Amino acid sequence: MLEIKNITKVFHPGDINEKTALRDLSLHLAPGEVVAVIGSNGAGKTTLLNAIAGVFQIDEGQMLIEGQEVGRKPEHVRAAYIGRVFQDPNLGTAATMTIEENLVMALQRGKPLRLRRGTAKNKRELFRERLEPLGLGLENRLTSKVGLLSGGQRQALTVLMATIARPKLLLLDEHTAALDPKTAAVVLDLTTRIIADGNLTTLMVTHNMEQALTVGTRTIMMHEGRIILDISGPERARLEIPDLLKMFEQASGKALNTDRLLLAQ
Ligand SMILES: Nc1ncnc2c1ncn2[C@@H]1O[C@H](COP(=O)(O)OP(=O)(O)OP(=O)(O)O)[C@@H](O)[C@H]1O
């Protein structure tokens, strides 16, 4: 599904601030695979998601989605098949627009004008149908301004918006980290349900070690722009959080060092 071959990204090349954020990194994701990504501060996790989303051009390597080279396509073109959710609940939604207006925007993202049809009534039915299972009552608040929602409600809506147009790939960048533990658990639960319902191929960056071992079927550890460990199957199923931290330390030569490390939710 996603094939990343030997990608490299250097920021400020030739400058005193030169930084190699991705080093000859390769990664293959099977269709429907859900992968948690962990690593220390500055390991290159967000840079990897940015490279896939097309925020900048990579310096070397190739990226293919369903066999099609996307590495040189601009961000707005990739937005048609990539959904993304950031840590900050304010980033994925427009506060001054209603829930319904935000969802219409999300549904139309990346689609040519001629495919943007569908009556307002049909769309409203679809939105109610998708909002109801979230269990937050948002299906009855379609005309409320998004700015009035709580952080958790807003992030739940962002997850729905990122997935409503059925992206080929979902990128989650610590999307529960800014929420309180109870709300984070609710948003994570509805995220995993949406992923399972849509069989969405997903990369999820997290600093939460419990999430790293329980969400999806595979855990990737990054360090200094490389993938240093890639664990799945029975090996992953057997791991406890201290084992994971030890493996990271053995592979990188350093303790997992993050300002937001969470050992459990
Ligand atoms: N646009 C940029 N310009 C210059 N340097 C950058 C840019 N984006 C990232 N970097 C640098 O690249 C390295 C990797 O950063 P990145 O944000 O990908 O790390 P991360 O693993 O997501 O870290 P964190 O857990 O702290 O969010 C860091 O040294 C960072 O300072």
Q: Per-domain residue ranges for the chain?
A: 2-93+149-231+244-252
Q: Which atom of ligand 1 is nearest to the CA of 50?
A: 18
pLDDT at 265 over 80: no
CA-nearest of 86, 55, 89, 52 to 168 is 52
For residue 47, report the distance from its CA to the centre of ligand 1, in Å. 6
Q: Give 167-200 pLDDT, tens digit per residue.
A: 999 999 999 999 988 889 999 999 999 999 999 9
209 CB burial (10 A radius; 0-12, 13-18, 19+): buried
19 Cβ below 6 A of ligand 1: yes
Packed helices 181-198 and 151-163: angle between N→C axes, nearest 10 degrees: 10
The yes-or-no verdict on residue 142 having pLDDT over 80 is yes
Of the candidates 70, 64, 154, 166, the one whose C-alpha atom is nearest the C-alpha of residue 111 is 166
Predicted ipTM > 0.90: yes
pTM here? Answer: 0.93
Q: What is the pLDDT of residue 159?
A: 94
Q: Is the CB of 46 under 6 A from ligand 1?
A: yes
pLDDT bin (cut points 50, 70, 90) of residue 134 is confident
Distances (CA, A) of 203 to 13, 85, 171: 28, 11, 5
* Cβ of 225 below 6 Å from ligand 1: no
Residue 255, pLDDT above cutoff 90: no
The mean per-residue pLDDT over the stretch 40-51 comes to: 95
Q: Give the ligand 1 atom nearest the CA of 205.
A: 22
Written out in words, the top-level CATH class of the domain with range 2-93+149-231+244-252 is alpha beta
Select the more confidently predicted residue: 92 or 158: 158
Ligand 1: does its nearest atom lie under 6 Å from the Cβ of 258?
Answer: yes
Q: What pLDDT is recorded for position 218?
A: 97
CB atoms within 10 A of CB 21: 21
229 C-alpha vs ligand 1 centroid, how far in Å? 19
